[in-house]
Amino acid sequence: MERRRKTASARNPITALLEDVLGCKWSWRVLREIRAGVTRPGQLERAIEGISAKVLNERLRKLQRHGVLEKVEHAEIPPRVEYRFTPLGEKFFAVLEQVEAVEREYAVKPASGRGPGPHRAGARG
């Protein structure tokens, strides 16, 4: 099973991207902050509680390699770097928003004591 998953990811870069982002607790947070207008590395590090500079830089580089983000280096002193979505990144973020919507819809509500979502066993509708 693991071998099949690696092979599918190697053949399909979008599958690899989905696995990488959905399997990482930091990538989705980084993308949400950039979407909200937090585009500079120092700002991102302050906005994402618990992320280290090392992990942030690793995630930014990986998202660049996947083609989701591009790094914009401004010719200023002191140097200024920002990250923004590529066209692929814009489409990919929309997919992640849909995943988040499904997650909200089917999230277990602790106070109810019921199973996930509207289609649990015994539900009508």
The parent domain of residue 18 ranges over 6-104
Has residue 17 been placed in a domain? yes
- Given a contact cutoff of 8 angstroms between Cβ atoms, the answer to whether 82 and 76 are in contact is no
Has residue 109 been placed in a domain? no
The predicted-structure confidence for 52-71, as pLDDT tens digits, reads as follows: 999 999 999 999 999 999 99
Residue with tokens 């509207």: 118
Looking at residue 18, its pLDDT comes to: 84
Has residue 99 been placed in a domain? yes
- Higher pLDDT pick, 7 / 69: 69
Domains held by the chain: number? 1
Has residue 77 been placed in a domain? yes
**pTM of this prediction?**
0.74
Has residue 31 been placed in a domain? yes
The predicted-structure confidence for 94-116, as pLDDT tens digits, reads as follows: 998 998 899 889 887 666 555 55
74 phi and psi, to 5 degrees? -85, 140
Question: Which residues touch 79 (CB under 8 Å, ≥6 apart)?
Answer: 73
